[in-house]
Structure 1
Amino acid sequence: MKSLVSATFALLATVSGVTMALAEYPERPVSIIEPWPPGDVDDQLLRVIAEVFTQETGVPAKVVNRPGGFGLEGAASVLSSPADGYTIGSFLIDIPTSYPILGIAPYAREDMEVIGLNMNFPFMLAARKDAPYNNLAELAAYAKDNPVSFGHFGFETIPAQQTFEAARQLGFSFSTETGYEVTDCTTLSNGDADVINTTVALVLACKDDVKAIAAYTEAPLSVFPDGPLLRDQISGPTFTLWSGIFVPKGTPQEAKDKLAAIIEKAMQSDQAKQIAETTGAEIYWQPAAEAQARIDADFEAVKALFAKMKQ
């Protein structure tokens, strides 16, 4: 009898082990963390990814907005989660570059792995349509005799530092500068700031009352085609503000591969193409190896940009 019981337990253990080995990712719902409030381009794309994920796997995926600390709170929540593929995050360029460089991140670069990069933000320096300047040179001339307030997504963010670098090169200073979780139509219309770092998606509602005096992109913004490129107005490197999908280090390769295939399909969907057309975002898929090389190169260039803060 003892031999029979032992054999039975051994058989059950073997069957259980086989069952676990055959279990495929995902077995339960996946959370996609967005470290910013709802509404911007990356948030819209994450909802497309969640929809395609559910269609492809039959397992729900949901977008969870966790704003705070200019993206730090959401990023930290992802990187402190188990490395099992069930919590993933959408990280802007600052999260793996400028925040660790400045020592303000509660994580290290080595704590994350990139699944791939999927978009470039249609980012710009915007002003009211009736502002007496149309480019950075005109802004500089105006600011030398008049106060100009600047609203941005945080002093530590790359767009803000690129804007400060432009001011340094053109010989002017902003009268005030303030970081916001969101800069949009009301930031300008309420007079909270005269110029703002923002994205096209956040000012679509007032696009007829707004103009771009610098586009932080590789090509002109489709929604604001007359907005001059930042790179054509200052010297030195400028940065495309990419965003991508990241997971905690040690996430199983099976999960990473499945996520990559699903996200690539989502970026090729009609919904993603419509978002690109509406917002001017550059939507694509750059897989992990190429994405990591790009991140490493940007890390070194961003380090040089932020070194100027101390000069």
Structure 2
Amino acid sequence: MKIIVKAAIGMAAMLVAAGPSWAFPDRPIQLIVPWAAGGGMDSVMRIFAAGFEAELKQPVNVVNRTGGGGITGHTAIAGAAPDGYVVGGISPEISFFKALRLGDLTIDSVDAFSRVSVIPAGVTVKADSPYKTIADYLKAVKDSPKGTLMASGTGVGGSWHIASGGLLKAAGVAPDAVKWVPSNGGAPALNDLVAGGLSVFTGSPIEAKAMLEAGRVRTLLLMTAERHPSFPDIPSAKEAGLDWTYENWFALAGPKGIPAERRKVLFDAAARTMQRPEVRKAMADRGITPVWDKPEEFAAYVTTFTERGNGILRDLGLAKN
């Protein structure tokens, strides 16, 4: 009898010890978004969060941590307690903070799971803008003194800034010919555009979709090799004779050091989330391309992407290395 009791006690102790891991997650998950509500990443991550919540059977609370051209939110993800209860969305800006000397934060500062989506860059103007085509806009850039025209969509040296610089370079214009006005994401930049404070928005028309449909803005070009199925009336860069394409990516990540068994729960749930029909449809309906990478694929993609972006940052006179 004593042996049985001891065995039972031992088994109970093992179950108690294993309980937190086995039960994970047993409370809400926080998903940090480093950009403003209403922008591209915010839209993507809120769609993802709804599916992630269904898979984890726990609430997933989206928290916008803006500021510093993305530094604030990305730092919050990297510095969170590695218990699995905080994850976040990371954007390409994390690849360029170090080159811009904004901090030591890099893609290696977080535990990057996979891309969740990609969205193409574009050139969007106010509805009553004098620029009716991309040729009109580029001619205005060439004919105007440097810095006369102003663009925005992210912080200085951010992904949409790189998109703008690369497009101008492909058009034979100095990459920094257009003055860049920093913002905390696509939504505030678009508000500045329609208010008349900007000449162009070089983020994605996906971020501008509501304003496009309301007739408040017009997108002149997509920085793609071919027309996008969600925007069949918008010319591609290739059609315009410009050798430049650019797409932004948003990925899921967590702080380094999450226990392996908890990380597996999160990773597997995220992978299933990206296969959920309602998640894929919600993204596709907004022109967002859903993605889920194998770990080695994401690492290779980011390496190539970073090298290309750093080249444009040097052209812009922003890269410090």
Cα distance in structure 1, aligned partners of 2:304 and 2:51? 31
Aligned match of 1:152: 153
Structure 1 residue 188 and structure 2 residue 193: aligned?
yes
Q: Calculate the aligned-residue CA RMSD, in Å.
A: 3.0
Q: Give, in angstroms, the shift of residue 174 of structure 1.
A: 4.5
Aligned partner of residue 59 in structure 1, secondary structure: coil
Q: Give, in angstroms, the shift of residue 205 of structure 1.
A: 2.8
Aligned partner of residue 144 in structure 1, secondary structure: helix
How many residue pairs get aligned? The number is: 304
Cα distance in structure 1, aligned partners of 2:68 and 2:289? 26
Q: Give, in angstroms, the shift of residue 34 of structure 1.
A: 0.7
For structure 2, list consecutive stretches of 5 or more residues without a partner in the other structure. none
Structure 1 residue 19 and structure 2 residue 16: aligned?
yes
Give CA deviations for 1:34-92 in whole Å, capped at 9, x if unaligned. Answer: 11122234323323333333333332221111111121111101101122221111011
The answer (yes or no) to whether the contact 1:41–1:279 under 8 Å persists in 2 is no
Aligned match of 1:75: 74
Aligned match of 1:116: 114
TM-score by length of 1: 0.83
For the structure 1 residues 231 and 102, does the alpha-carbon distance in structure 2 shift closer, same or farther, using more than 3 Å as the test? farther
Q: Give, in angstroms, the shift of residue 18 of structure 1.
A: 4.2
Aligned partner of residue 187 in structure 1, secondary structure: helix
Structure 1 residue 142 and structure 2 residue 140: aligned?
yes
The answer (yes or no) to whether the contact 1:133–1:139 under 8 Å persists in 2 is yes
Q: Give, in angstroms, the shift of residue 116 of structure 1.
A: 1.0
Aligned partner of residue 167 in structure 1, secondary structure: helix
Aligned match of 2:262: 255
The AA in structure 2 aligned to 1:20 is: A
Q: Taking every aligned residue pair, what percent have the same amino acid on both sides?
A: 20
Cα distance in structure 2, aligned partners of 1:298 and 1:69? 22
Q: Give, in angstroms, the shift of residue 254 of structure 1.
A: 2.3
Cα distance in structure 2, aligned partners of 1:113 and 1:74? 15
Pick aligned residue for 1:225 from 221, 226, 232: 232
Aligned match of 1:57: 56
Give CA deviations for 1:9-28 in whole Å, capped at 9, x if unaligned. Answer: x9968744542235323233
The AA in structure 1 aligned to 2:70 is: G
Q: Give, in angstroms, the shift of residue 210 of structure 1.
A: 2.3
The answer (yes or no) to whether the contact 1:183–1:197 under 8 Å persists in 2 is no
Aligned match of 2:100: 102
For the structure 1 residues 52 and 275, does the alpha-carbon distance in structure 2 shift closer, same or farther, using more than 3 Å as the test? closer
The AA in structure 2 aligned to 1:69 is: G
For the structure 1 residues 230 and 255, does the alpha-carbon distance in structure 2 shift closer, same or farther, using more than 3 Å as the test? farther
Structure 1 residue 198 and structure 2 residue 203: aligned?
yes
Aligned partner of residue 167 in structure 2, secondary structure: helix
Q: Give, in angstroms, the shift of residue 135 of structure 1.
A: 4.4
The answer (yes or no) to whether the contact 1:260–1:287 under 8 Å persists in 2 is no
For the structure 1 residues 294 and 231, does the alpha-carbon distance in structure 2 shift closer, same or farther, using more than 3 Å as the test? farther
Give CA deviations for 1:87-114 in whole Å, capped at 9, x if unaligned. Answer: 111011221x112332313524322121
For structure 1, list consecutive stretches of 5 or more residues without a partner in the other structure. none
Alignment of 1:241-252 (within 5 A): 241-252=248-259
TM-score by length of 2: 0.81
